[in-house]
A and B are shown apart, each in its own frame.
Chain A
């Protein structure tokens, strides 16, 4: 099956900093999503982005399907951005292990 690798596994940043999270996948995919899971467990869909670039406020994402990776950019981090960021791919919605982000005030 498809392997999904996310990096870095952990990230600690000061409020206001920018960050880039990466998702690599081992085979071509028709679907890719980025999620944020808050400390209470709620998963929020950030982007559905099988290819191309999308932006939503301080967040943007780019997927280069031919090179099998996706990037999530977070600018001007806020403490509410803390949590785990997952990418999920393929018809069977395979999740990566996530990047745990902690924003310090």
Chain B
């Protein structure tokens, strides 16, 4: 099974709402990632978890709060977002990690959550 699942597929939220995005993989991977992708742009790395510990935070605003409850699950908690945060949020996983905490082999991506902030 080489699948990464993400829920929900679509999310519309107001600027005062609190919501969470969920990502799950059952490939035994120990590195998991959150990306943000705006229309017609490449994905931008937000966070990397390696062995359930946050290893990379790319200076993401605190209104995005990641959580890795176990090796299969990755959450992204959202609070007080702005309209410019509307984007496709992608989760990925890979088997290994480097000393810097980044990937060391093939990454598998989920289908993404399309987020709209009103």
Q: B114 in the interface, Cβ–Cβ < 8 Å?
A: yes
Q: How many A-B residue pairs have CB under 8 A?
A: 58
Also in contact, A31 and B43, with CB within 8 A (given A41-B112, A42-B111): no
Q: Confirm or deny: B90 has a beta carbon within 8 angstroms of a beta carbon on chain A.
A: yes
Contact of B101 among A44, A48, A91, A94 (CB under 8 A): A91
User: CB of B23 within 8 A of chain A?
Assistant: no
Per the 8 Å Cβ criterion, residues 31-47 of A in contact with B are: 31, 33, 35, 40-45
**Cβ-based interface call for B17 (8 A):** no
Cβ-defined contact, A45 with B43, below 8 A = no
Given the contacts A95-B42, A95-B43, A45 and B108 also touching, CB distance less than 8 Å: yes
Main secondary structure of the interface of A (DSSP, over half): loop
**Knowing that A88-B107, A95-B43 are A-B contacts, what are 12 other residue pairs whose CB atoms are under 8 Å apart, sorted by A's residue number?**
A30-B98, A31-B104, A41-B111, A42-B111, A43-B90, A45-B107, A90-B102, A92-B100, A93-B33, A93-B103, A94-B45, A96-B42
- Contact A86 B42, beta carbon cutoff 8 Å: yes
Interface residues on A, range: 20 to 34
Interface size on B, residues (CB 8 A): 26
| Chain B CB within 8 A of A68 CB | no
Residues of B within 8 A of A (CB): 33, 37, 41-45, 56, 58, 88, 90, 92, 98, 100-109, 111-112, 114
Q: Select from chain A the residue with minimum beta-carbon distance to B112.
A: A41
CA distance A88 to B108 in the complex (A): 13
- Chain A residues lying within 8 Å of B44, measured Cβ to Cβ, are 95
Measured between beta carbons, the chain A residues less than 8 angstroms from B45 are 92-94
List 8 tightest A-B contacts by C-beta distance, closest first.
A91-B102, A95-B42, A43-B109, A91-B100, A48-B106, A91-B98, A41-B112, A45-B106
